[in-house]
Amino acid sequence: MSHYVPPKQGKLSQLFDVIVLVALTVGALFVPLWLNMAGDAKEVTTPVENPTWESLGQNAVQAGQYEALGYTPETAHDLILARFDYSFTTGALITMIVVIVAYYFLMLKFSEAEYREVISEKFGQK
């Protein structure tokens, strides 16, 4: 195999690549946040009016610890009653599985093609 000679990359081109990578990175975290779609689906589904420790499901020891931390039943209301919603559809689960498997399949397939080229150049043809 002939030796591959990579082109020399100019300063501006290097800068462009860095900007693209940073933009993608920031976008991956912040776009779901800006669209209000990023996780933490904890919500209070059944609020309690005029809450007491008993109505919030707390025994004497649990209530005592909350009071030691500076909480009252009113201020602890959301903290105690907020719950995740773990319900999901089969379609969403299958989508996630397909995305993950496709990602690793893509990685391994492209990597293998590139790797053969590397080994061929480093060690010569089989």
Partner 1 sequence: MADFDITSGERDGMGPHGTKVGLLRVLGPAHVWALGVGIVLVGEYMGWNFAVGKGGAYAALIACWFAGILYTCVAMIDSEVTSTVAAAGGQYTQAKHIVGPLMAFNVGLYLVFAYTMLEAANAITAGYLFSVVATMSGFEGELDQRPFIILVIMFLAWLNYRGVLATLTFNLVITAIAFSAILVLFLSTSGVLGGGIMQHAALFEGHELPYGWVGVLAAMHFGLWYYLGIEGTTQAAEEVRSPARSLPFGTLAGIMTLLIAATLTWYVCSGVLPWEFLGDGVNGSVAPLFDTARLSGSNGLVWFLGFGTLFATLASANGCINDASRAWFAMGRDKYLPAWFGAVHPKYRTPYRAIVFLVPIALIFALGAPLDQVITFSILSGLLEYTFMPLNIILFRKKWPMGSIKRGYEHPFHPLPAIVLLSLCGITFFAVFLGYGTQLVAMIGFYIVVSLWFHFRRYRFVDRGAQFTMPWPKPQGY
Q: How many residues in the shown chain lie near partner 1 by CB under 8 A?
A: 77
- Rounded to a whole number of angstroms, the minimum distance from the CB of residue 40 to partner 1 is 6
Cα 110 vs. chain centroid, distance in angstroms? 24
Q: Is 94 an interacting residue with respect to partner 1 (CB under 8 A)?
A: no
Question: What residues from 103 to 122 belong to the interface with partner 1 (CB under 8 A)?
Answer: 103-104, 106-108, 110-122
The strand pairing partners of 83, in sequence order, are 43
Could you tell me how many residues make up the chain? 126
- Rounded to a whole number of angstroms, the minimum distance from the CB of residue 52 to partner 1 is 15
Question: What residues from 5 to 24 belong to the interface with partner 1 (CB under 8 A)?
Answer: 5-7, 9, 11, 14-15, 17-18, 20-22, 24
Residue 37 Cα distances to 28, 31, 92, angstroms: 12, 9, 15
- Rounded to a whole number of angstroms, the minimum distance from the CB of residue 50 to partner 1 is 19
The whole-angstrom separation of Cα 63 and Cα 54 is 9
Q: Is the dihedral of CA 42, 48, 51, 54 positive or negative?
A: negative
Question: What residues from 31 to 90 belong to the interface with partner 1 (CB under 8 A)?
Answer: 31-33, 37-42, 57-62, 65-66, 68-69, 71, 76, 78-80, 82-86, 88
